[in-house]
Amino acid sequence: MVEATTRAFGSPSKYIQGPGEFNNLEVYTKSFGKIVFALIDGFLYDALNKDLRAIYDSSESDYHAEKFQGECCQPEVDRLTAKANEYSADVIVGIGGGKTIDTAKIVASSLNLPLVIVPTSASTDAPTSAMSVIYTESGEHRGTIRHKRNPDLVLVDTNIITKAPLRLFISGMGDALATYFEARANEASDSANFVGKGYRRCKAGMAIAKMCYDILLQDGLKAKLALKRGVCTEAVENVIEANTLLSGLGFENTGCAAAHGIHAGLTEIAATHKYLHGEKVAFGVICQLVMENAPPEELETIIRFCMQVGLPTTLAQLDVEATEENIRTIAHKVVAGNPLVHAEPFKITEDVVYNAIIAADELGKYYQGREAK
């Protein structure tokens, strides 16, 4: 339970979303200064750097870029911070996926510079938050860094998002699916949110988390089918906003709980490493609802949604054999290795988690069987 009675709400200074907005990047960065230093995801570096050079060459701004090497780790942070210093950067721009974005946050924070985030997929709610997850050079989780402020601007070009692999978009829905249920758990336990040192949540945060969930149910399937054909509809725009802005504001201002705790546990099984964050979180949502003994109607809604959009509902879909050893390994990590699950409004033990995973797996198989008939 949070001790303070003070409420707090954190957010980026601005969020802009629309087709072709990437081409306006120089218009936005010039308000922060003349010298721009961009960190660009390695997979996209050649194409996006070429486009940005053309944009900035016709402006009064000085543009410099570095290819992100792939891991948000201290040596990469040190390398990019030194480069930003070398260029006397006025503003940092992070362009890419979650690890690129998190690295840009650390660089900007360490230099106390303005930060612009340009996500290239809707697979994560990281862009809007004042948090970074940092790893070792070999990719092992090292911890979470909380920054003093959120990004100054999150710029989402929906033309870029719609060209990203569909699986990333679906995974983003899995991550966003947890936002409301974890907010609800944190409200029930009166746990601290992720703003600064941790405060009580504002009602605005709870409302945003609920809106995120409502949009997923209303537009998730429609958006997936539209993107499958490579078109951007109003439903696609709505879900991009839910995955990125609403989920980001929701989790930071209300907190995470068992769904993300289950994700952490699943990562202990090597076979799950090829699956995306949101894919594991989606199964975690089902486990959380089982722990909470949610109404059957709610569980059915969530499981059917996951099946419709292509998110896992069973251990087998994450390549986890449902052995006692595997499930005990997951449960131990959830309870002992991650504090998130303890935001639930009741005592969590390894047995509670173990039993919930087995029951969630059986529910997933049950609904898959019904669907197959």
Catalytic residue at 277?
yes
* Nearest residue to 150 via CA among 186, 118, 108: 108
Residuewise pLDDT in 10s, the chain (373 residues):
666 689 999 999 999 999 999 999 999 999 999 999 999 999 999 999 999 999 999 999 999 999 999 999 999 999 999 999 999 999 999 999 999 999 999 999 999 999 999 999 999 899 999 999 888 888 777 888 999 999 999 999 999 999 999 999 999 999 999 999 999 999 999 999 999 999 999 999 999 999 999 999 999 999 999 999 999 999 999 999 999 999 999 999 999 999 999 999 999 999 999 999 999 999 999 999 999 999 999 999 999 999 999 999 999 999 999 999 999 999 999 999 789 999 999 999 999 999 999 999 999 999 998 876 6
Among residues 125, 175, 219, 361, the one annotated as catalytic is 175
> Of 41, 152, 263, 361, which one is the catalytic site residue?
263
Domains and CATH numbers, the chain: 7-163 (3.40.50.1970), 166-372 (1.20.1090.10)
Catalytic residue check, 273: no
Query: Structure tokens of 117?
Result: 């985030």
Residue 165: phi, psi to the nearest 5? -55, 140
Q: Residue 202 gets which letter from DSSP?
A: P
CB proximity list for 138: less than 8 A, separation 6 or greater: none
Distance from chain centroid for Cα 129: 9
Choosing from 41, 152, 219, 260, the catalytic residue is 260
Residue 269 token pair: 């099984």
Residue 260 bears catalytic tag = yes
Q: Point out the catalytic residue in the list 277, 319, 342, 361.
A: 277
